[in-house]
Amino acid sequence: MSGQLKEVRERIKSVKSTQQITKAMKMVSASKLRKAQQGIVQLRPYADRLNKMLVNILSNLEGDADTVFKKERGEDKIAIVVVTSNKGLCGAFNSNVIKAAVAKIKNDYWTQYEAGNVTIIPIGRKGFEFFQKNYKKATIIDDHVFLVNDLTYENVEQAALVAMDGFREGQFDKVFAAYGRFKNAAMQFPEMVQFLPVKKLELKGKAVKRKADYIFEPSKHDLLQELVPSILKTTFKKFVLDTHASEHGARMTAMDSATENAQEMLNELKINYNKARQEAITKELSEIVGGAAALGG
Protein backbone atom coordinates (compact mmCIF):
# COMPACT_ATOMS: atom_id res chain seq x y z
CA MET A 1 0.00 0.00 0.00
CA SER A 2 2.85 2.39 0.80
CA GLY A 3 4.26 1.70 -2.67
CA GLN A 4 0.93 2.66 -4.24
CA LEU A 5 0.78 5.90 -2.23
CA LYS A 6 4.32 6.78 -3.28
CA GLU A 7 3.48 6.17 -6.94
CA VAL A 8 0.43 8.44 -6.77
CA ARG A 9 2.46 11.15 -4.99
CA GLU A 10 5.07 11.01 -7.75
CA ARG A 11 2.41 11.33 -10.42
CA ILE A 12 0.86 14.32 -8.63
CA LYS A 13 4.26 15.96 -8.45
CA SER A 14 4.89 15.31 -12.14
CA VAL A 15 1.50 16.69 -13.23
CA LYS A 16 1.97 19.83 -11.09
CA SER A 17 5.34 20.40 -12.72
CA THR A 18 3.83 20.03 -16.18
CA GLN A 19 0.99 22.35 -15.26
CA GLN A 20 3.44 25.05 -14.19
CA ILE A 21 5.16 24.78 -17.58
CA THR A 22 1.90 25.00 -19.54
CA LYS A 23 0.81 28.01 -17.46
CA ALA A 24 4.11 29.76 -18.14
CA MET A 25 3.92 28.99 -21.87
CA LYS A 26 0.37 30.31 -22.00
CA MET A 27 1.45 33.57 -20.37
CA VAL A 28 4.43 33.95 -22.71
CA SER A 29 2.26 33.33 -25.78
CA ALA A 30 -0.39 35.75 -24.50
CA SER A 31 2.28 38.42 -24.12
CA LYS A 32 3.70 37.79 -27.60
CA LEU A 33 0.22 37.57 -29.09
CA ARG A 34 -0.62 41.15 -28.12
CA LYS A 35 2.29 42.50 -30.12
CA ALA A 36 1.79 40.10 -33.04
CA GLN A 37 -1.94 40.84 -33.17
CA GLN A 38 -1.29 44.56 -33.19
CA GLY A 39 1.09 44.13 -36.11
CA ILE A 40 -1.30 42.19 -38.35
CA VAL A 41 -4.35 44.27 -37.40
CA GLN A 42 -2.50 47.41 -38.45
CA LEU A 43 -1.04 45.92 -41.63
CA ARG A 44 -3.98 43.92 -42.97
CA PRO A 45 -6.32 46.79 -44.03
CA TYR A 46 -3.38 48.58 -45.66
CA ALA A 47 -2.16 45.43 -47.45
CA ASP A 48 -5.67 44.44 -48.57
CA ARG A 49 -6.35 47.91 -49.97
CA LEU A 50 -3.03 47.97 -51.78
CA ASN A 51 -3.71 44.52 -53.22
CA LYS A 52 -7.14 45.59 -54.50
CA MET A 53 -5.55 48.66 -56.07
CA LEU A 54 -2.87 46.47 -57.67
CA VAL A 55 -5.45 44.08 -59.14
CA ASN A 56 -7.50 47.01 -60.41
CA ILE A 57 -4.53 48.70 -62.05
CA LEU A 58 -3.19 45.54 -63.67
CA SER A 59 -6.64 44.58 -64.93
CA ASN A 60 -6.94 47.92 -66.75
CA LEU A 61 -3.47 48.32 -68.26
CA GLU A 62 -3.50 49.49 -71.81
CA GLY A 63 -0.84 50.27 -74.37
CA ASP A 64 2.78 49.40 -73.76
CA ALA A 65 2.66 49.78 -69.98
CA ASP A 66 2.88 46.33 -68.43
CA THR A 67 4.53 44.29 -65.70
CA VAL A 68 5.87 40.77 -65.71
CA PHE A 69 3.97 39.96 -62.50
CA LYS A 70 0.60 39.80 -64.29
CA LYS A 71 1.69 37.58 -67.18
CA GLU A 72 -0.16 34.29 -67.34
CA ARG A 73 1.93 31.26 -68.28
CA GLY A 74 1.40 27.54 -68.28
CA GLU A 75 1.51 25.47 -65.10
CA ASP A 76 4.65 23.46 -65.68
CA LYS A 77 6.71 24.86 -62.80
CA ILE A 78 5.03 25.56 -59.47
CA ALA A 79 6.30 27.16 -56.27
CA ILE A 80 4.53 27.09 -52.92
CA VAL A 81 5.53 29.33 -50.02
CA VAL A 82 4.67 27.43 -46.82
CA VAL A 83 4.58 29.66 -43.74
CA THR A 84 4.58 27.78 -40.42
CA SER A 85 6.19 28.25 -37.00
CA ASN A 86 9.59 27.12 -35.77
CA LYS A 87 8.15 25.47 -32.66
CA GLY A 88 5.34 23.07 -31.90
CA LEU A 89 2.94 22.86 -28.96
CA CYS A 90 0.37 24.99 -30.79
CA GLY A 91 -2.30 22.41 -31.47
CA ALA A 92 -3.09 21.55 -35.08
CA PHE A 93 -2.00 24.95 -36.40
CA ASN A 94 1.13 23.86 -38.28
CA SER A 95 -0.38 20.62 -39.55
CA ASN A 96 -3.40 22.50 -40.96
CA VAL A 97 -1.20 24.87 -42.96
CA ILE A 98 0.90 21.96 -44.20
CA LYS A 99 -2.25 20.02 -45.15
CA ALA A 100 -3.39 22.97 -47.27
CA ALA A 101 -0.10 22.91 -49.19
CA VAL A 102 -0.16 19.11 -49.55
CA ALA A 103 -3.75 19.19 -50.81
CA LYS A 104 -2.76 21.73 -53.47
CA ILE A 105 0.07 19.50 -54.69
CA LYS A 106 -1.95 16.27 -54.65
CA ASN A 107 -5.12 17.71 -56.18
CA ASP A 108 -3.71 20.08 -58.80
CA TYR A 109 0.00 19.57 -59.36
CA TRP A 110 0.90 15.94 -58.70
CA THR A 111 2.16 15.47 -62.27
CA GLN A 112 4.48 18.46 -61.83
CA TYR A 113 5.68 17.06 -58.50
CA GLU A 114 6.47 13.67 -60.02
CA ALA A 115 8.43 15.48 -62.75
CA GLY A 116 10.43 17.40 -60.14
CA ASN A 117 8.87 20.75 -61.06
CA VAL A 118 7.44 21.71 -57.66
CA THR A 119 9.46 24.04 -55.45
CA ILE A 120 8.75 24.56 -51.75
CA ILE A 121 9.85 27.81 -50.11
CA PRO A 122 9.44 27.08 -46.39
CA ILE A 123 9.28 29.85 -43.82
CA GLY A 124 9.29 28.16 -40.42
CA ARG A 125 11.06 25.00 -39.30
CA LYS A 126 7.95 22.81 -39.04
CA GLY A 127 7.05 23.18 -42.69
CA PHE A 128 10.67 22.76 -43.75
CA GLU A 129 11.10 19.50 -41.80
CA PHE A 130 7.85 18.03 -43.13
CA PHE A 131 8.53 18.63 -46.81
CA GLN A 132 12.20 17.73 -46.53
CA LYS A 133 11.22 14.35 -45.07
CA ASN A 134 8.09 13.52 -47.06
CA TYR A 135 8.43 15.20 -50.46
CA LYS A 136 11.82 14.15 -51.79
CA LYS A 137 11.02 15.05 -55.41
CA ALA A 138 10.31 18.69 -54.54
CA THR A 139 13.04 21.32 -54.59
CA ILE A 140 13.39 22.93 -51.15
CA ILE A 141 14.70 26.49 -50.97
CA ASP A 142 15.73 26.77 -47.31
CA ASP A 143 17.32 30.23 -47.26
CA HIS A 144 14.60 31.78 -45.08
CA VAL A 145 13.43 28.92 -42.85
CA PHE A 146 14.11 30.91 -39.67
CA LEU A 147 12.68 34.21 -40.90
CA VAL A 148 10.11 34.24 -38.08
CA ASN A 149 12.94 34.86 -35.60
CA ASP A 150 13.44 38.35 -37.03
CA LEU A 151 10.44 39.82 -38.84
CA THR A 152 12.01 43.08 -39.97
CA TYR A 153 10.84 44.44 -43.31
CA GLU A 154 14.29 43.88 -44.79
CA ASN A 155 14.27 40.17 -43.93
CA VAL A 156 10.70 39.66 -45.19
CA GLU A 157 11.62 41.53 -48.37
CA GLN A 158 14.50 39.13 -49.07
CA ALA A 159 12.15 36.14 -48.70
CA ALA A 160 9.57 37.77 -50.98
CA LEU A 161 12.24 38.37 -53.61
CA VAL A 162 12.96 34.63 -53.80
CA ALA A 163 9.42 34.07 -55.10
CA MET A 164 9.24 37.27 -57.16
CA ASP A 165 12.64 36.88 -58.85
CA GLY A 166 11.92 33.22 -59.53
CA PHE A 167 8.67 34.17 -61.27
CA ARG A 168 10.27 37.06 -63.15
CA GLU A 169 13.08 34.86 -64.45
CA GLY A 170 10.75 32.05 -65.49
CA GLN A 171 11.81 29.55 -62.82
CA PHE A 172 8.18 29.43 -61.62
CA ASP A 173 5.02 29.69 -63.70
CA LYS A 174 2.83 30.15 -60.65
CA VAL A 175 3.54 30.93 -57.01
CA PHE A 176 1.13 30.06 -54.20
CA ALA A 177 1.27 30.81 -50.49
CA ALA A 178 0.00 28.56 -47.68
CA TYR A 179 -0.26 30.38 -44.36
CA GLY A 180 -2.37 30.74 -41.23
CA ARG A 181 -4.94 33.54 -41.33
CA PHE A 182 -5.46 35.09 -37.90
CA LYS A 183 -8.99 35.91 -36.76
CA ASN A 184 -8.66 35.96 -32.98
CA ALA A 185 -6.82 34.14 -30.22
CA ALA A 186 -9.11 31.12 -30.49
CA MET A 187 -9.60 30.99 -34.27
CA GLN A 188 -7.00 30.63 -37.03
CA PHE A 189 -7.64 29.35 -40.53
CA PRO A 190 -5.26 27.77 -43.04
CA GLU A 191 -5.23 29.73 -46.30
CA MET A 192 -3.96 28.81 -49.78
CA VAL A 193 -3.77 31.79 -52.13
CA GLN A 194 -2.21 32.56 -55.50
CA PHE A 195 0.60 35.06 -55.04
CA LEU A 196 1.84 35.24 -58.65
CA PRO A 197 0.79 36.03 -61.29
CA VAL A 198 -1.57 38.68 -59.93
CA LYS A 199 -5.12 37.59 -60.67
CA LYS A 200 -7.37 39.74 -62.82
CA LEU A 201 -10.65 41.10 -61.55
CA GLU A 202 -13.37 38.51 -61.89
CA LEU A 203 -17.14 38.61 -61.82
CA LYS A 204 -19.09 35.36 -61.71
CA GLY A 205 -16.02 33.49 -62.86
CA LYS A 206 -15.31 35.76 -65.87
CA ALA A 207 -12.57 38.35 -66.14
CA VAL A 208 -14.03 41.85 -66.46
CA LYS A 209 -12.77 45.29 -67.27
CA ARG A 210 -13.41 47.89 -64.62
CA LYS A 211 -12.55 51.55 -65.06
CA ALA A 212 -9.57 52.39 -62.85
CA ASP A 213 -9.75 56.04 -61.87
CA TYR A 214 -6.01 56.63 -61.38
CA ILE A 215 -3.73 59.42 -62.55
CA PHE A 216 -0.15 58.25 -63.05
CA GLU A 217 2.70 60.62 -62.23
CA PRO A 218 5.45 60.03 -63.34
CA SER A 219 4.72 57.81 -66.35
CA LYS A 220 2.62 54.69 -65.97
CA HIS A 221 5.57 52.47 -66.95
CA ASP A 222 8.02 54.04 -64.47
CA LEU A 223 5.51 53.97 -61.64
CA LEU A 224 4.61 50.33 -62.20
CA GLN A 225 8.26 49.30 -61.93
CA GLU A 226 8.29 50.60 -58.33
CA LEU A 227 4.67 50.24 -57.27
CA VAL A 228 3.98 46.61 -58.19
CA PRO A 229 7.00 45.04 -56.42
CA SER A 230 6.36 47.21 -53.35
CA ILE A 231 2.73 46.07 -53.09
CA LEU A 232 3.70 42.44 -53.60
CA LYS A 233 6.27 42.64 -50.80
CA THR A 234 3.63 44.14 -48.50
CA THR A 235 1.24 41.31 -49.40
CA PHE A 236 3.98 38.79 -48.66
CA LYS A 237 4.61 40.39 -45.27
CA LYS A 238 0.91 40.01 -44.50
CA PHE A 239 1.24 36.25 -45.03
CA VAL A 240 4.11 36.11 -42.52
CA LEU A 241 2.55 38.39 -39.88
CA ASP A 242 -0.81 36.60 -40.15
CA THR A 243 0.94 33.30 -39.46
CA HIS A 244 3.01 34.79 -36.64
CA ALA A 245 -0.10 36.01 -34.81
CA SER A 246 -1.93 32.75 -35.54
CA GLU A 247 0.93 30.73 -34.04
CA HIS A 248 0.81 32.55 -30.70
CA GLY A 249 -2.99 32.47 -30.61
CA ALA A 250 -2.99 28.72 -31.27
CA ARG A 251 -0.27 28.08 -28.70
CA MET A 252 -2.03 30.15 -26.04
CA THR A 253 -5.26 28.22 -26.64
CA ALA A 254 -3.45 24.87 -26.64
CA MET A 255 -1.57 25.63 -23.42
CA ASP A 256 -4.78 26.84 -21.76
CA SER A 257 -6.44 23.52 -22.63
CA ALA A 258 -3.38 21.61 -21.42
CA THR A 259 -3.47 23.50 -18.10
CA GLU A 260 -7.15 22.68 -17.63
CA ASN A 261 -6.55 19.02 -18.47
CA ALA A 262 -3.69 18.91 -15.98
CA GLN A 263 -5.97 20.34 -13.29
CA GLU A 264 -8.61 17.68 -14.00
CA MET A 265 -5.93 15.01 -13.78
CA LEU A 266 -4.68 16.46 -10.50
CA ASN A 267 -8.18 16.41 -9.01
CA GLU A 268 -8.59 12.76 -10.00
CA LEU A 269 -5.15 11.81 -8.66
CA LYS A 270 -5.87 13.54 -5.35
CA ILE A 271 -9.10 11.60 -5.00
CA ASN A 272 -7.25 8.35 -5.73
CA TYR A 273 -4.51 9.34 -3.28
CA ASN A 274 -7.04 10.07 -0.51
CA LYS A 275 -8.81 6.78 -1.17
CA ALA A 276 -5.53 4.84 -1.02
CA ARG A 277 -4.50 6.71 2.14
CA GLN A 278 -7.87 6.02 3.74
CA GLU A 279 -7.55 2.33 2.90
CA ALA A 280 -4.06 2.25 4.40
CA ILE A 281 -5.26 3.92 7.60
CA THR A 282 -8.26 1.59 7.83
CA LYS A 283 -6.01 -1.42 7.37
CA GLU A 284 -3.60 -0.22 10.07
CA LEU A 285 -6.48 0.41 12.48
CA SER A 286 -7.88 -3.05 11.77
CA GLU A 287 -4.50 -4.59 12.51
CA ILE A 288 -4.18 -2.61 15.76
CA VAL A 289 -7.72 -3.56 16.87
CA GLY A 290 -7.10 -7.17 15.90
CA GLY A 291 -3.79 -7.23 17.81
CA ALA A 292 -5.39 -5.65 20.91
CA ALA A 293 -8.21 -8.15 20.82
CA ALA A 294 -5.75 -11.02 20.61
CA LEU A 295 -3.76 -9.68 23.56
CA GLY A 296 -6.91 -9.13 25.57
CA GLY A 297 -8.08 -12.65 24.83
Under-70 pLDDT residues of the chain:
1-3, 60-66, 200-214, 216, 292, 296-297
Assess contact for 241 and 48: CB atoms under 8 A.
no
Pairwise CA distance, residues 81 & 123, whole Å: 7
Which SS3 state, helix, strand or coil, does residue 63 take? coil
CA-closest candidate to residue 82, choices 100, 107, 67, 59: 100
Instruction: Answer yes or no: are the C-beta atoms of 131 and 140 closer than 8 Å.
Output: yes
pLDDT score for 214: 65
Q: Is the C-alpha dihedral spanning 177, 164, 48, 128 positive or negative?
A: positive
pLDDT of residue 204: 46
**Strand ranges of the sheet holding 139-140, from the earlier edge strand across to the other edge:** 139-140, 118-123, 78-83, 174-184, 187-196
CA atoms within 13 A on the CB side of 216: 16
State pTM to two decimals.
0.82
- The secondary structure of residue 70, as a DSSP letter, is G
CA dist 85 and 250 (Å) reads: 11
* Beta bridge partners of residue 179, listed in sequence order: 191
* 203/199 Cα distance (integer angstroms): 12
Domains and CATH numbers, the chain: 24-254 (3.40.1380.10)
* SS percent in the chain: helix, strand, coil, step 5: 65, 15, 25
Query: Is 142 strand, coil or helix?
Result: coil
At 254 the three-state DSSP class reads helix
